[in-house]
Amino acid sequence: MTESPAASPDPDEESLALQDLGYRAAVIDLLGAIAYGEISAFDRLAEDARLAPTLEDKVAISSMAATEFGHVALLRDRLVELGADPFAAMEPFRHAIDRFHEHTAPSDWYEGLIKAYVGDGMAADFYREIAAYLDPRTRDLIVASLADAGHSEFVIDRVRGAIEADPRLGGRLALWGRRLMGEALTQAQRVAAERDALSALLAGGIDRPGLDLAAIGRMFSRITELHAARMSELGLDA
């Protein structure tokens, strides 16, 4: 993170933090949301792989899918360790995440590539922002589960090549990127409105700093800037 929020609890505070039932519920929510997000990303990437023009492209995107799925086990183990049923923890997020994917079903290979790269990147930025407010062990787990498998170069190479060959594609794909961002924000807002524990986490507590409105604004600015940087790497206007 280039500009990371200040709150950063001491390692010894981990078990103490988790004794706070509200905090614990928020962590379970967050891990459940990320886990379902990865399962669902796996599913969609495997589906999008069928749009690949060559076997090599198909293998590259399938490999992104398999990497996403590889993170699920870590999250699941930690949920069990926290005494939660991992599948029950994922349940509250199924609707919003499924809805996001329904509304952003790629109509061709390039939309699929951009969604894989930009969509995944946005989600990762958002979870990393929240992770900064958590105990170090949870934070490290989240950061590890969001690590991308270095497929950015592949996507950038393919998208830039396609726009060079057909410049009109750039306009359509730029719109697509904005739509991905819009849909992600819509669904994130819905989740925030419904999940009290997560909202309380962001708001902070007596012993834990939270985010005031200005801080939330800065968080969204950072996420938007990172999104714009990714779009520009792809050769697209954000």
The binding site for a second copy (CB under 8 A) comprises 36, 39, 42-43, 46-47, 49-50, 54-56, 58-59, 62-63, 65-66, 69-70, 72-73, 76, 87, 90-91, 94
Q: What is the largest CA-CA distance in the chain?
A: 57
Residue number with CB closer to a second copy (63 or 224): 63
Burial 150-175 (b: 16+ CB within 10 A, else e): ebbebbbebbeebbeeeeebbeebbe
Smallest gap from Cβ 89 to a second copy, in A, equals 10
Residue number with CB closer to a second copy (45 or 201): 45
Smallest gap from Cβ 146 to a second copy, in A, equals 17
Residue pointed to by tokens 């050769």:
235
Smallest gap from Cβ 56 to a second copy, in A, equals 5
Distance CA 157, CA 50 (A): 19
Residue number with CB closer to a second copy (63 or 199): 63
Residue number with CB closer to a second copy (46 or 200): 46
Cβ neighbours around 28 below 10 Å, total: 22
Sign of CA dihedral 36, 38, 44, 50: negative
Smallest gap from Cβ 42 to a second copy, in A, equals 6
